[in-house]
Amino acid sequence: MSAAFPPPDALARAALAEVRAIGLPERRAQALVTLAAAVADGRVDLSLGADPERTVAALEALPGIGPWTAQYVAMRSLRWPDGFPGGDLVVRRALEVTTTRAAEARAAAWRPWRAYGVLHLWSSASSGG
């Protein structure tokens, strides 16, 4: 049996209870439905080639989507090599800083390839090295 993620317009029309049934808390389910509606109506463009900074701003404007999620989506969905979820706990610990701003300052030299740095830090942390 195979399963496919529903298209954005279908997810945008889904009842919140249906989305919660996959194990999501209500606020996260609502954020997912809101995101699907924004993608379906064109407010958020997640297609390859979309402007990543515009997409990040559009994502952050949605309720329930913060900077970490917006940067992660830009890294993964848009394949943006400069996406940087500086608020990530693993990233901040690896960079030996306590704030997002400090992480961004520490990683500034990695521009425009910060996403690769993040992936390396996550990989190192998960492998214990």
Rounded distance, CA 59 to CA 125, Å?
Answer: 28
Rounded distance, CA 33 to CA 43, Å?
Answer: 14
Q: Closest by alpha carbon to 121, among 95, 101, 102, 98?
A: 95
Under 8 Å between Cβ of 8 and 39: yes
* Residues involved in catalysis: 88
